[in-house]
Amino acid sequence: MRVEEQDLVDRLRAFAQNPEAVHLIAGIEDVHPEDIADGLMRLDADDALTILQALHPDEAATILVELPSETARAIINELPDTTVAHYLDILPMDDAVDLRSQLDPERFEALLNVIPSEDAEEIRRLLSYPEGSAGQIMTEDYVEVGADSTMAGVLDIIRQTSDEDYETVNYIYVLGPDRHLLGVLTLRRVIRANPLASAREVMNPEPLSVPVEMPEEEVARILARYGFSAIPVLDVRGRMVGIVTADDAHEVLEEAETEDLLAMSGVIGDAEAYLSLSPLQLVQRRLPWLAVLFVAEFFTGSVLRHYAGESETGKGLLAQLMLFVPLLIGAGGNAGSQVTTTITRALALGEVRARDWLRVIRRELLVSTMIGLLLGLVGFCRAYLPFIGWQLPIYLSLVVGFALPVIIIWAACVGSLLPIGAKALKQDPAVMSAPFISTLVDATGLIIYFEVAKIILAWYGLSF
């Protein structure tokens, strides 16, 4: 049952406050797990944990599968083993492998002893392959037949096996006694062929395959290039060990392209859902490159100081203030671009909606305040302290130290509201936000800088 999002969030919040209320549990029983997971992301982590702990382990595990990995990682260690075991058991195998990094190694091994032995052995096999390789994103659930199998026999195998046993039935793989890949059948060809024809007669004897140690992104691009829904994976001896499906390949490419896009704006880290990241994690992702770009702007200021110092006008107070304009405006523009890129991506993927604007603003205020204060301290030290700085008067150094956080906070607020506002107006956030952010930050950043300068200089009885 599909419910209105805000109504569901209200139900979940009420459930978190009173998890024993039977009528509240009944109120979400018929809701799709994907919708419940989306609602949990809009609650505090403690409330989400309370709800998952109150649900039956099967239900909690099904919802947990739909949560972004960062959100799941934040709460999974607090869940009982029964829930996590169910979660591990129903996870796609490649995601189950990723779970190892989120749990204590001893607990992960203990959970493998709880789930069905065949699933545990498959997870252990996948873990034996190099990280980021085809072996860790493949599945062993595929249809295989012998070369002498008839088309009628192949269809019987598909009919008699449950859906959970196969990742896909679009391709049927023909294997020899030594598990070498002899060919591949498409379901369409099987249906259309003579029921008594053998797999050897109908199959494509030259199927495209990939080695088990091939990097996952390369595998994904091969799948995308040829338009396959799956591709067989072979070990070093040429034996078939699994398949990589198109949906897994799509996730790999989406994550790689998102990371490239974020990196272009100086945001590091994996591609995770925006609301699943804490403010501290957002700071860790944005601060390193922002600090590098901030330091790089020092060189521009040094060049201006050099040439301004050679002229009489360069000795004036206004001229000295102008030396910091590239530094401050550049930092504000970079901070705004980071936020705009992050929020635009989150809107495109449906992780954030226009109605989430207040929550986004609160997060960005906290994140930008932490980043701004850190960079403001660096700017003050660079301007004031001997040996590492320019040894400027204390009043000029304070102007830099106070103006920088204000500009970064303002840029973050503008950078987050622009794409959300564009989305609310049914405009493309990427097209609308990018041109406006630099223009707005440049113009308003100058106003902020000089207004801060007026206030601080007035304390010292100065003006410009």
160 has a pLDDT exceeding 80: yes
Q: Which of 73-77, 273-277, 391-395 has the lowest mean pLDDT?
A: 273-277
| Banded pLDDT at 240 (limits 50, 70, 90) | very high
- Average pLDDT of span 318-343: 82
Residue 162: strand, helix, or coil: coil
Range picked from 58-72, 104-118, 139-153, 423-437 for highest mean pLDDT: 139-153
Alpha carbon distance, N-terminus to C-terminus of the chain: 65
- Average pLDDT of span 118-127: 84
- In tens, the pLDDT along 3-39 reads 566 777 777 888 778 776 655 566 666 778 888 888 8
**Site of tokens 């395959």:** 209
Rounded distance, CA 17 to CA 59, Å?
A: 19
Q: How many alpha carbons fall within 13 Å on the CB side of residue 400?
A: 32
Q: Where are the alpha helices (DSSP H) in 323-356?
A: 325-348
CA 288 from centroid of its chain's CA atoms = 18
Residue 180: strand, helix, or coil: strand
| Banded pLDDT at 262 (limits 50, 70, 90) | low
Q: Give, as one character, the DSSP assignment of residue 186.
A: E
Per-residue model confidence (pLDDT) at position 307: 42
Percentage, residues of the chain above pLDDT 90 = 23
Strand order in the sheet with 181-186: 143-145, 171-175, 181-186
- In tens, the pLDDT along 357-377 reads 888 899 899 999 999 999 999
Per-residue model confidence (pLDDT) at position 66: 78
- In tens, the pLDDT along 289-316 reads 666 665 655 555 554 455 445 444 445 6
DSSP assignment string, 401-416:
HHHHHHHHHHHHHHHH
pTM: 0.56
- In tens, the pLDDT along 186-218 reads 999 999 999 999 999 999 999 999 999 999 989
User: What does pLDDT average to over the chain?
Assistant: 80
Rounded distance, CA 244 to CA 140, Å?
A: 9
Per-residue model confidence (pLDDT) at position 14: 80
**Site of tokens 């797999």:** 199
| Banded pLDDT at 340 (limits 50, 70, 90) | confident
Given CA atoms 261, 267, 268, 270 in this order, what sign does their dihedral have?
negative
Per-residue model confidence (pLDDT) at position 296: 54
- Average pLDDT of span 127-154: 91
Per-residue model confidence (pLDDT) at position 432: 55
Q: How many alpha carbons fall within 13 Å on the CB side of residue 348?
A: 13
CA 395 from centroid of its chain's CA atoms = 43
The beta strands (E) that lie in 109-239 are given as 143-145, 171-175, 181-186, 210-211, 230-234
Q: Which of 251-260, 395-404, 437-446 has the lowest mean pLDDT?
A: 251-260
- In tens, the pLDDT along 391-437 reads 788 988 899 899 999 999 999 998 888 888 888 887 767 655 555 67
| Banded pLDDT at 227 (limits 50, 70, 90) | confident
Residue 269: strand, helix, or coil: coil
Q: How many alpha carbons fall within 13 Å on the CB side of residue 244?
A: 33
Q: Give the dihedral of Cα atoms 453, 456, 459, 460; nearest 10 deg.
A: -70
**Domains in the chain, start-ordered, CATH in brackets?**
5-128 (1.25.60.10), 143-245 (3.10.580.10), 265-459 (1.10.357.20)
User: Tokens standing for 446?
Assistant: 């100058």
118 has a pLDDT exceeding 70: yes
Residue 42: strand, helix, or coil: coil
Q: Which residue has the higher pLDDT, 327 or 278?
A: 327
